[in-house]
Structure 1
Amino acid sequence: MGLSLVYDLVTELLEGNIIVGRNHGTLFYTLFHIQFAQLTLDNLIANGAS
């Protein structure tokens, strides 16, 4: 449930994306890469932030 909440927050509210990578070698791990769009001053002004 926790990962589902994070996924919804990142993708829907923050307009980002999540890439999941897994390693099946001698060390087993899962890597989550969370990426957000670059926030610029123009974006802030266009969205009404002060």
Structure 2
Amino acid sequence: MSRVYIVTDSTADLTEEEVKQFEISIVPMNISIDDDNYIDGVTITKEEFKQ
């Protein structure tokens, strides 16, 4: 029997509970603001991005 894996990028609006419940893998997106580059959820938080 094959197993299904769910993979999404970090722009998906998922709760931590959903990520854990369905064992979802999240690939962080690169964000460029002016001349600065960030990794979503790694080097910049959602709150920092909104500012």
The structure whose Rg is larger is: 1
Structure with the larger helix share? 1
TM-score by length of 2: 0.26
Structure with the larger strand share? 1
TM-score by length of 1: 0.27
